[in-house]
């Protein structure tokens, strides 16, 4: 398979910039590029309320998926109209950029168009209430880095990082709902190691998809539906030299694969640097709670993560977006809860939900359950902390 013939069924799973670089044969493992750009970071306010409202419905995850798919498809088309390139869709957040174009007016005009588009959407009717989703948007101009991390064996990832992304995220964080805020990225020296030892051979388009998914997509038989999954949100620290992040991701992928899981997403967003792992997406019985917890223990023991939240439940696994840009991901209340548990955790903590604790059947020692209040769970939920344990 060559880069000059990316199937149309697969091209939408890659950002436009990445597709162009792949066609030129210019993408390598560990590659870091720096450029002046316009960056847009947006998230949907009301996402937690929406996931909670659908949580108790028999097909709640599917309803959530359909709703978000409709919203994101519209946002993607609007960004495309302004020439933007959507690099990631993760939960309630979307990131886009205009590489080699530093244009505040262009980014803000696109952001205003997104706000206007979302405003026209009707409220979403749920059994509990009607929910109106809103956007908060941060726009920045300045230096940004594009990174290629991961291995072809387990899937490569394209990420944005650096001053431009941080400025857009900080602008979004200080922005009220239904509004947009602009920030100029601070002048900064290049954060790239001038001679990264991690750069290796050229990679191709199918390396950016896990192999089973690539095979499904090549046959135009992408399978969507409910899966009993264990989502894991694990915080980590970005190395001082961005080129070294590839080595961290490579090591994480190796550990996760040995425990029967997969590294689904890498987020460098408003929650900080996060690895999103999934166990059980393929429906294999060996991908259970003990494996997910054991994996996190090894990752923590090796210094690859700082803390984690693990939950268990039915997730809807499928594509989000449209023929212009889409991602293959998992959605549902348990994803949201795992992220909130991770945010509640202190450095070194691994929090597991009550379902995970019951499913573990005592394979690792845990604390007594404690009630933790998280966003969307005002009454609190029972959580166990995995106690200190050294793997052999």
Q: Where are the domains of the chain?
A: 9-187+225-385
Stretch 90-114: mean pLDDT: 96
If DSSP codes are grouped into helix, strand and coil, which group holds residue 52? helix
Q: How many CB atoms lie within 10 A of CB 191?
A: 17
Q: How many CB atoms lie within 10 A of CB 268?
A: 21
Both tokens assigned to 257:
């694969």
Burial class (CB in 10 A: 0-12, 13-18, 19+), 252: buried
Q: How many CB atoms lie within 10 A of CB 74?
A: 16
Residue holding tokens 């393929």?
A: 282
Global pTM reads 0.90
**Percentage of the residues of the chain whose pLDDT score is greater than 70:** 87
Q: How many CB atoms lie within 10 A of CB 233?
A: 29
User: In this structure, are residues 381 and 353 in contact, taking their beta carbons and an 8 Å threshold?
Assistant: yes
Q: Which fold has domain 9-187+225-385?
A: Alpha-Beta Plaits (3.30.70)
What is the band of 222 on the pLDDT scale with cuts at 50, 70, 90?
A: low
Residue 66: per-residue pLDDT:
83
> d(Cα 266, Cα 257) in Å, to the nearest integer?
16
Query: pLDDT tens digit string along 138-166?
Result: 999 999 999 999 999 899 999 999 999 99
For the ranges 86-100, 225-239, 290-304, 364-378, the lowest mean pLDDT is seen at: 364-378
Residue 21: per-residue pLDDT:
93
> d(Cα 49, Cα 55) in Å, to the nearest integer?
10
Parallel, antiparallel or unpaired: strands 124-125 and 377-385: unpaired
Give me the half-sphere count of Cα atoms (radius 13 Å) on the Cβ side of residue 291.
21
What is the band of 212 on the pLDDT scale with cuts at 50, 70, 90?
A: low
- Indicate if the pLDDT at residue 44 is higher than 90: no
- Indicate if the pLDDT at residue 297 is higher than 70: yes
What is the band of 57 on the pLDDT scale with cuts at 50, 70, 90?
A: confident
- Indicate if the pLDDT at residue 239 is higher than 50: yes
Collect all residues with Cβ–Cβ distance below 8 Å to 247 and sequence separation of at least 6.
Answer: 30, 198, 239
């Amino acid at each position: 398979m060559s880069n000059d013939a990316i199937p149309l069924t697969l091209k939408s799973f890659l950002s436009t910039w990445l597709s162009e670089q792949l066609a030129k044969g210019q993408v390598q493992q560990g590659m870091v590029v720096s450029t002046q750009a316009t960056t847009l970071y947006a998230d949907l306010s009301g996402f937690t309320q929406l996931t909670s409202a659908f949580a108790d419905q028999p097909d709640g995850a599917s309803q959530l998926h359909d709703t978000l798919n409709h919203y994101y498809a519209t946002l993607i088309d609007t960004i495309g109209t302004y020439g933007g390139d959507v690099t990631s869709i993760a939960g309630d957040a979307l990131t886009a950029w205009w590489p080699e174009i530093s244009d505040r007016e262009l980014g803000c005009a696109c952001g205003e168009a997104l706000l206007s588009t979302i405003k026209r959407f009707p409220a979403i009717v749920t059994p509990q209430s009607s929910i109106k989703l809103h956007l908060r948007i941060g726009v920045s101009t300045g230096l940004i880095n594009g990174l290629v991390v991961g291995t072809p064996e387990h899937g490569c990832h394209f990420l944005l990082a650096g001053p431009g992304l941080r400025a857009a995220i900080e602008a979004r964080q200080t922005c009220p709902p239904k509004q947009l805020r602009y920030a100029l990225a601070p002048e900064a020296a290049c954060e790239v190691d001038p001679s990264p030892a991690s750069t290796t051979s050229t990679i191709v388009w199918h390396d950016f998809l896990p192999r089973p998914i690539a095979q499904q997509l090549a046959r135009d038989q992408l399978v969507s539906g409910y899966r009993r999954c264990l989502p894991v949100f694990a915080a980590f620290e970005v190395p001082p030299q961005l080129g070294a992040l590839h080595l961290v991701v490579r090591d994480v992928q190796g550990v996760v694969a040995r425990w029967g899981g997969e590294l689904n997403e890498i987020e460098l967003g408003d929650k900080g640097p996060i690895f999103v792992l999934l166990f059980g997406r393929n429906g294999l019985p060996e991908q259970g709670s003990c494996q997910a917890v054991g994996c996190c223990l090894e990752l923590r023991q090796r210094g690859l993560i700082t803390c984690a939240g693990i939950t268990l439940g039915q997730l809807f696994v499928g594509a989000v977006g449209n023929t212009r840009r889409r991602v293959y991901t998992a959605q549902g209340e348990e994803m949201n809860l795992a992220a909130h548990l991770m945010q509640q955790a202190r450095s070194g903590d691994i929090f597991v939900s009550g379902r995970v604790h019951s499913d573990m059947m005592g394979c690792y020692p845990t604390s007594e359950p404690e009630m933790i209040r998280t966003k969307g769970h005002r009454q609190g939920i029972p959580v166990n902390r995995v106690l200190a344990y050294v793997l052999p």
